[in-house]
Amino acid sequence: MRALIQRVSRASVQVDSEEAASIGRGYLVLLGVGAGDGEEQAAWLAHKIAGLRLFEDDAGRMNLGLKDVEGAVLAVSQFTLYGDARKGRRPSFTQAAPPAQAEELYHRFCDLLAAEGVPVEKGVFQAHMEVALVNDGPVTLWLEREP
């Protein structure tokens, strides 16, 4: 399972020109589910993201987490994180989980993150989304937990 985390001052998702979800301060999490992923990967990532300290304290150091700043997560499923473009010009997505498995683990990840006390908003699974964000910093972090 892969997550691209961006610290944001705000982020939103639109589907068919209508806002589907939005947050203020927090993290935009682009989540990719791999073919071999399961509960262990979802739980590890949710716990790790809930505890990350990516916000600056009064001294300018990244010592504050989501709960400290009353932040939220906008979680967006993104199978293209498993795109492999090493050969040819069109990426292969054979390492991505099939849609049914990916959707189940995406929702499970969101539930586990919410159980950690983090407010979670969701994108729309398998929809064409327009994601808008203001990356704060910019701060971007890549996390991966392989099966």
78: annotated active-site residue: yes
Catalytic residue among 6, 14, 41, 78: 78
Give the contacts of 122 (CB within 8 A, at least 6 positions apart): 21, 74, 75, 76, 107, 110
Catalytic residue among 80, 93, 94, 140: 80
94: annotated active-site residue: no
126: annotated active-site residue: no
> What is the DSSP code (8-state) at residue 80?
G
Catalytic residue among 6, 41, 79, 109: 79
**Residue 23 amino acid letter:** I
55-56 and 62-64: which strand pairing? antiparallel
Beta bridge partners of 84: 92
Show which residues are catalytic: 78-80
